[in-house]
Chain A
């Protein structure tokens, strides 16, 4: 079992839809949670960074963390064609694993006009 599981999709939605992207993790040592967006042939771009359970909102994006169920989500409201990309969830454990990201497989999202 991978430490971080993410449905690779692909996911195709119409413009304006609400998109829900999800990951589960197995290691209780994971303390920090990120969502990255990666366009084709580009490096990942940090979208959201959270530490505690709960919601964090930034514009059209909302990150949700539930540590009790080891579940993390990213919601995109009013999705746009420019949101079409691969979305990667990532986590970091504390202690000796300082800084080492563990990525999910990535979900390919297409928002069509």
Chain B
């Protein structure tokens, strides 16, 4: 099956630092990847759509200068949380479209970010 990995799985950082999260499709190429944010016991909130070779498309209310997305290859997208603050603490999940069966999306295991 289609496998998506994320790294790191957990990260703790100090307020003001930047954190990079990687999302990789391991056994398929993904022209489109998505980044979500999830609060405890809440559903996933789409942050942005990442397209290989072009700028990401951000959802309303998501600061593009705060959450930098780079989709440099067909198997890798990165999310950088710049100048992180405690309110940025959350569970960040990426997904990738396989393109093999319509709009199926496969999710990574998530990254838990804690900003002190």
A interface list, Cβ under 8 A from B: 32, 34, 36, 41-46, 49, 51, 88, 92, 98-101, 103-106, 108
Interchain nearest-CB distance for A59 vs B (Å)? 15
Whether B61 sits at the interface, judged by CB under 8 Å, is no
Which 4 pairs, one residue from A and one from B, show the smallest C-beta to C-beta distance?
A: A43-B107, A103-B43, A43-B109, A44-B107
Interchain nearest-CB distance for A51 vs B (Å)? 7
A105 touches B107 (CB 8 A): no
Count, chain B residues at interface, CB 8 A: 25
B102 touches A32 (CB 8 A): yes
B residues less than 8 Å from A44 (CB atoms) = 44, 93, 95, 107
B43 touches A106 (CB 8 A): yes
Interface contacts beyond A45-B107, A88-B44: sample of 5 additional A-B pairs, CB < 8 Å, sorted by A: A43-B110, A99-B34, A99-B97, A101-B105, A106-B43
B interface list, Cβ under 8 A from A: 4, 6, 32, 34, 41-44, 46, 49, 91, 93, 95, 97, 101-110, 112
A residues less than 8 Å from B42 (CB atoms) = 105-106
A residues less than 8 Å from B34 (CB atoms) = 99-101
Given A41-B112, A43-B108, A43-B110, also A99-B44 (CB < 8 A): no
Q: In the assembly, what is the distance between CA of A42 and CA of B42, in Å?
A: 13
A residues less than 8 Å from B105 (CB atoms) = 34, 46, 99, 101
